[in-house]
């Protein structure tokens, strides 16, 4: 595949942080960034979404915040529990925060999965989308040491669960 | 197969243009215009960006800019003779930049000491008036780390980095839009 087709348009910059509330207050103070959409993952009261960590079933949770800058979305994630790429990042980064990933959207995952597998890039963490991303799957790929950030992929085409 | 929604891309580009057309009262543009990544090797970064993301055709420049007698380099407020290489790529709705430090004291060398493989170091915003932004950051107790003349000699532009990483997870680069 020609990767340029899949990665021509970054849609999100993702920050991982240990203390979400302090970061949000600082973003407002310095950049006047406010009115975040805040969500928990998994959402309270919903069925537990499928989650994977290094290919095995995962059981992790996090708090998410989203802000639309217009040209690109800002996401802030505070990992709460369980093994995930987000906790791994916090262990290695100074200040207990930093920009961790850039996100891209593709119609479906098949070709980009195959592309990264061919390049020897591992999928680190993935999960079933919730809220506005219900029916989609997000996946983080371990590109940090090669690119200076991890790549997150999200499929645009929603797949409906088969009726039981 | 892939998301190639031209309408969405056009809307993003309009937003960026709006960022450049700041309100008079605004201190900074309303959105970031660049993601800046510090790397130990510009060549390897470009090679990997091409291999993994299909990105190629970077615009490569050096600092001090060729033919520039007075690059106005400052490191934490002191005159400093530093050099770096830079490459940029217009990435749909935002610019991607890789930076490799070459010599002297600078914020990029400092970053690589803590992140030997490199990483996302800054987001760039625009200002109409560096003096106003400097006063704003000073009032917040945020220090200027590095500054220098624009990469295009004679453009009248100046870039400045502010050490906001301990507060928001990344440093801010501010470039003046209005040429004085």
Structure tokens at B126: 């625009």
User: If contacts are CB pairs under 8 Å, which of residues 43-72 in chain B contact chain A?
Assistant: 45, 48-49, 51-56
Is A98:B111 a contact under the CB 8 Å cutoff? Answer: no
User: What is the enclosing helix (H) or strand (E) of B29?
Assistant: none
pLDDT tens track for A123-148 = 999 999 998 899 999 999 999 999 99
Q: Give chain A positions within 8 Å (CB) of B48.
A: 146-147
Q: For residue B151, give how far its alpha carbon lies from the nearest alpha carbon of chain A (Å).
A: 23
Strand partners, B99: B38, B86
Tally C-beta pairs within 8 A across A and B. Answer: 147
pLDDT tens track for B128-163 = 889 999 999 999 999 999 999 998 877 889 999 999
Is B156:B180 a contact under the CB 8 Å cutoff? Answer: yes
Give the range among A17-26, A29-38, A41-50, B24-33 with minimum mean pLDDT. Answer: B24-33
Is B158:B150 a contact under the CB 8 Å cutoff? Answer: yes
pLDDT tens track for A42-94 = 998 878 899 999 999 999 999 999 999 989 999 999 999 999 999 999 998 88
Judged by a CB distance cut-off of 8 A, whether residue B18 touches chain A is yes
Q: Residue B85 phi/psi, 5° resolution?
A: -115, 150
Q: How far is CA A26 from CA A31, A34, B15, B162, in A?
A: 8, 10, 24, 14
* Entry pTM: 0.91
Distance between CA atoms of A113 and A122, rounded to whole angstroms? 9
Q: Which chain A residue is nearest to residue B162, measuring alpha carbons? A: A30
Q: How far is CA A133 from CA A36, A156, B57, B65, in A?
A: 17, 9, 34, 46
Find which of B1, B2, B44, B165 to mutate to test the A interface (most A CBs within 10 Å of its CB): B2
CB contact under 8 A, A144 and B117: yes
User: What's the complex ipTM?
Assistant: 0.93
Give the range among A136-145, A155-164, B15-24, B100-109 with minimum mean pLDDT. Answer: B15-24
Mean pLDDT of chain A: 93
Strand partners, B172: B123, B162
What is the arithmetic mean of pLDDT over B49-71?
Answer: 94
Percent of chain A clearing pLDDT 90 (strictly above): 80
Distance between CA atoms of B89 and B105, rounded to whole angstroms? 26
């Amino acid at each position: 595949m020609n990767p340029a087709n899949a990665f021509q348009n970054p849609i999100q910059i993702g920050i991982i942080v240990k203390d979400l509330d302090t970061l949000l207050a600082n973003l407002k103070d310095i950049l006047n960034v406010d009115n975040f959409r805040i969500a928990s993952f998994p959402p309270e009261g919903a069925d537990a979404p499928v989650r994977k960590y290094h290919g095995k079933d995962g059981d992790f949770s996090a708090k998410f915040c989203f802000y639309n800058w217009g040209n690109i979305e800002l996401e802030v994630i505070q990992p709460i529990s369980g093994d995930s790429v987000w906790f791994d990042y916090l262990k290695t980064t100074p200040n207990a925060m930093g920009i961790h990933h850039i996100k891209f959207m593709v119609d479906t995952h098949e070709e980009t999965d195959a592309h990264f597998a061919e390049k020897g890039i591992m999928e680190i963490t993935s999960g079933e989308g919730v809220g506005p991303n219900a029916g989609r799957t997000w996946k983080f790929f371990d590109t940090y040491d090669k690119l200076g950030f991890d790549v997150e992929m999200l499929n645009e085409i929603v797949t409906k669960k088969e009726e039981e | 197969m892939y998301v190639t929604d031209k309408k969405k891309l056009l809307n993003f580009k309009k937003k960026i243009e709006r960022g450049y057309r700041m309100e008079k009262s605004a201190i900074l543009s309303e959105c970031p215009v660049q993601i800046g990544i510090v790397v130990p090797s510009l060549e390897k970064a470009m090679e990997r960006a091409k291999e993994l993301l299909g990105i190629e055709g970077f615009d490569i420049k050096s600092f001090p800019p060729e033919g520039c007698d007075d690059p106005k380099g400052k490191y934490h407020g002191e005159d400093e003779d530093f050099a770096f290489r830079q490459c940029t790529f217009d990435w749909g709705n935002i610019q991607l930049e890789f930076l490799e430090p070459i010599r002297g004291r600078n914020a990029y060398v400092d970053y690589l000491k803590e992140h030997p493989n490199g990483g996302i170091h800054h987001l760039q915003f625009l200002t109409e008036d560096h003096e106003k932004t400097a006063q704003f950051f000073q009032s917040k107790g945020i220090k200027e780390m590095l500054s220098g003349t624009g990469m295009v000699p004679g453009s009248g532009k100046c870039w400045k980095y502010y050490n906001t990483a301990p507060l928001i997870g990344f440093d801010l680069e501010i470039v003046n839009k209005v040429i004085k």
